[in-house]
Amino acid sequence: MGPRTHGVIHVIQLQHAAKVFRNEETRQHVQALEDVSLEVEENEFVCLLGPSGCGKSTLLNLVAGFERPTTGRVLFERRPVTGPGPDRGVVFQEPTLFPWLTCAQNVEFGLRSLCRDAGDRRQIAHRFLTLVGLDSFARARPHQLSGGMKQRVALARVLALNPRALLMDEPFGALDAQTRDRLQDELLRIWETHRKTVLFVTHNVEESVYLADRVAVLAPAPDSIIADVPISISRPRDRYSNEVREATMALMRVLADLPCCVLPSGASQRGVHASGAFETPQREEPHEWSMP
């Protein structure tokens, strides 16, 4: 159980978390995150939105336990995060399946540490492949699947571990629009029936509005979370409704003024301080923030 504040249980907490990476080759320090505080309640669906390079993956990796904060604290259910654990299921943009294993074996593999009995593992894998609509592909291998199907297997593998939270890093970013829409709906269905806490990273404004209870907008360091926007549109949502469009436009306005970190290779970045001086980044072409 997470800490209760006025009846609210915070599952994920970042308290003034900062992360500095050091590039051993160039000896530059990269301030990926600076003084980020964020709380995610139990069963809440929070999207972390921001331009490329602003530190979204770094933040998620801190919660996942793949990285440690340079300063500040990262707590999961009140305890400091010291490493990855089965209580936090991570889904990446590129599904990392073992190509030599079948779909079922991929799901079963993740269960080995939690469940000793092979028969039980098989049953659980079957249940979760069914949940994502892939029971008939249990014996297929990843190369026989489309990108969306692979991502479904990755999701089944994570859900089979029954994590308390799902940490998703642009999980649908590499999919075509139609497949992405379908997987968003599937994720919402699963989230509504299995009640998980979700931290979902995206740079796609519409996606964040469609999915989230709340959108936290992350700006590049030295800025932090510059807006925390509740999305109170009732569910199930209609992605083509005026409400969704208006909320999307309002968020796009917030993002329009943000600097972007994507620079040609070799160029300096905001937040990169080899000599202590900050440089203003160039603006990226605004395609990611343009109207649908």
Q: Which contacts qualify for 185-188: CB closer than 8 Å, 24 or more apart? A: 186/132, 186/133, 186/152, 187/155, 187/211, 188/235, 188/236
x/- mask, Mg ion, residues 126-165, rule CB under 5 A, reads ----------------------------------------
58 binds, among Mg ion, ligand ADP, none (CB under 5 to 8 A by kind): ligand ADP
Give residues 58-77 in contact with ligand ADP (rule: CB under 6 A): 58
Residue 33 CB, nearest approach to ligand ADP (Å): 8
Question: 270 touches which of Mg ion, ligand ADP, none (CB within 5 to 8 A by kind)?
Answer: none
Among 14, 30, 134, 145, binds ligand ADP (CB under 6 A): 30
Which partner in Mg ion, ligand ADP, none is near 231 (CB below 5 to 8 A by kind)? none
Among 55, 65, 69, 171, binds ligand ADP (CB under 6 A): 55
Nearer to ligand ADP by C-beta: 9 or 263? 263
User: Least Å distance between CB 70 and ligand ADP?
Assistant: 12
Tokens of 81: 């995060």
Min dist CB 143 to ligand ADP, Å, is 28
Q: Tell me the residue length of the chain.
A: 292
Residue 27 and residue 19: Cα distance in Å, rounded? 16
Contact between 171 and ligand ADP per CB under 6 A: no
What are the contacts of 277-285 at 24+ separation with CB within 8 A? 278/222, 281/220, 283/259, 284/51, 284/52, 284/260
**Cα–Cα distance for residue pair 62/225, rounded to 1 Å:** 15
Q: How near is the Cβ of 141 to ligand ADP at its closest, in Å?
A: 30
Considering beta carbons, is residue 57 or 224 the nearer one to Mg ion? 57
Between 96 and 123, name the residue whose CB sits nearer to ligand ADP. 96
**Rounded CA gap, 35 and 71, in Å?**
8
d(CA 216, CA 63): 15
- How many beta carbons lie within 10 A of that of residue 9, not counting itself? 17
Residue with Cβ nearer ligand ADP (131 or 167): 167
Among 52, 93, 179, 282, binds ligand ADP (CB under 6 A): 52
Cβ count near 155 (within 10 Å): 25
Which of 13, 31, 57, 224 touches Mg ion by CB under 5 A? 57
Count, in order, helices (H) and strands (E) of the chain.
7, 11
Q: How far is the CB of 286 from ligand ADP (least distance, A)?
A: 17
| Backbone φ and ψ of 124, nearest 5° | -65, -45
Q: Which residues of 209-230 are buried (b: 16+ CB within 10 A; e: fewer)?
A: bbbbbbbbbbbbbebbbeeebe
- Give min distance, CB of 284 to ligand ADP, in A: 12
Position among 3, 8, 23, 292 found at the interface with ligand ADP (CB under 6 A): 23
Q: How far apart are CA 292 and CA 287, in angstroms?
A: 10
Structure tokens at 277: 């001086």
Residues that bind ligand ADP (CB under 6 A): 21, 23, 30, 32, 50, 52-58, 261, 269
State the residues that interact with Mg ion by CB under 5 A: 57
